[in-house]
Amino acid sequence: MTTKTILLTGFEPFNGAAINPSWEAARALDGWSGPGFQVAARLLPCEFGRVNVALLEAVEAVHPDIVIAVGQAGGRSEISLERVAINVDDAAIADNAGAQPVDNPIIADGPAAYFSTLPLKAIVRALRLRGFPAGVSQTAGTFVCNHVFYGLMHHAAGASLKAGFIHVPFLPEQAAERPERPPSMALQDIVDGLRIAVEVAVTADEDVAEAGGATH
């Protein structure tokens, strides 16, 4: 059996936060291996200007068969399997370098969008069966996560690379300090959820046909 390498990326904290659950979860899985696979985790900067360079450096260093980029989506209640990366930056807040691009294409002559090539529905189904709130998301936003997701899929389109993006909720301690007390998920659950996503991405040859759309 050949061993597949999975690159898992997480983001540094942003918008003044002290922690980012995406990196806390990804780094907990650095070096994790199972039947036919091994995982390497890398930290990405939350900067439009540097993140895709850092991502491609990690891809060159790790030589992955599958890349799963992970980011924090504060306010969401479930593990979100992102379906589509769009070719636009439109930042509602500044990134960690102070950049706040508005309506810029990510790649000037690139297509409007790329679809994830992860088996989204199979991952969602496996997560729900194991008791984790999960769903397909139709937008990864227009901030740094969408930017790296688009850069990743642009690269993956020319390489034989399965790739996609997963957004994860706040940690409970992040929710506790916000006045609106948004939804959250324990770090251990995020870690275990990502384990399931990795296992399904490694083993599923094709996705399952199951509704995962939205009416709005």
Q: Which residues bind ligand PCA (CB under 6 A)?
A: 11, 14, 20, 22, 46, 71-73, 141, 143-145
CA 119 from centroid of its chain's CA atoms: 14
167 is a catalytic site residue: yes
Return the residue nearest ligand PCA (CB atom): 145
**Which entry of 46, 47, 78, 145 is annotated as an active-site residue?**
145
Give 56's contacts (C-beta < 8 A, 6+ positions apart): 151, 155
Q: Please say which residue, 10 or 212, places its beta carbon nearer to ligand PCA.
A: 10
46 is a catalytic site residue: no
Q: How far apart are CA 46 and CA 23, in angstroms?
A: 11
CB 79 within 8 A of CB 185: yes
Q: Please say which residue, 40 or 73, places its beta carbon nearer to ligand PCA.
A: 73
In whole angstroms, the minimum distance from the beta carbon of 90 to ligand PCA comes to: 11
Q: How far apart are CA 120 and CA 200, in angstroms?
A: 9
Q: What residue type is 102 in one-letter code?
A: V
82 is a catalytic site residue: yes
In whole angstroms, the minimum distance from the beta carbon of 36 to ligand PCA comes to: 29
What is the set of active-site residues?
82, 145, 167
